[in-house]
Amino acid sequence: MQTLLSAQRDAEEDRTMTAYDDQNIFAKILRDEIPSMRVYEDDDTLCFMDIMPRADGHCLVIPKTPCRNVLDASDAQLAAVMATVKKVANAAMAGLEADGITIQQFNEAPGGQEVFHLHFHILPRHEGVSLRAPGQMGDMEQIKAISEKISAAL
């Protein structure tokens, strides 16, 4: 009979054995195989606009190195990504005159993750304005104009 501890260990091994898929959409963005509206980039991270924004200024921060999510990210990947999240969130607050910021991050499919490359959502918020429903394409000209405001505040 399997003990709780051995079941947990087996589950952890299953999770860590899931290979990174280098054909995911964010890996393709990193290789410039798919276009993106880049807001900020450094040696370790990339921030680009979400094309299905739930809020004006909705952008994503990813590490440039492979990892599926927080569960398999290195401390260095997490530190680099969080530094960029903070930098861009502050720029979004200033550039868009936002009242607040929502940061979202999902891990594995049951946790809401859809793209299996570590990413953080930055959603600038304005008092009294609800998030839009997920999965709706945004207006590319509007997204571009908003991205320029965030970039200018960096």
Split into its structural domains, the chain has a count of: 1
Q: Indicate whether 95 belongs to any domain.
A: yes
In a domain, 7, yes or no: no
Strand order in the sheet with 59-63: 38-41, 45-49, 59-63, 120-125, 100-104
Is 4 inside a domain boundary?
no
Tell me, yes or no, whether 67 lies in a domain. Answer: yes
Q: Are 103 and 85 in contact (CB under 8 A)?
A: yes
Catalytic residues: 119
Identify the H or E element spanning 32. none
Query: Over the stretch 90-147, which tens digit does the pLDDT of each residue have?
Result: 999 999 999 999 999 999 999 999 999 999 999 999 999 999 999 999 999 999 999 9
Residues with Cβ within 8 Å of residue 26, at least 6 apart in sequence: 60, 62, 115, 117, 119
**Does residue 11 sit within a domain?**
no
State pLDDT tens for residues 30-89: 999 999 999 999 999 999 999 999 999 999 999 999 999 999 999 999 999 999 999 999
Residue 114 resides in a domain: yes
The pTM for the full model equals 0.89
Is residue 125 included in any domain, yes or no?
yes
Q: Which domain holds residue 43?
A: 20-152
Does any domain span residue 59? yes
Q: CATH number of the domain at 144, please.
A: 3.30.428.10
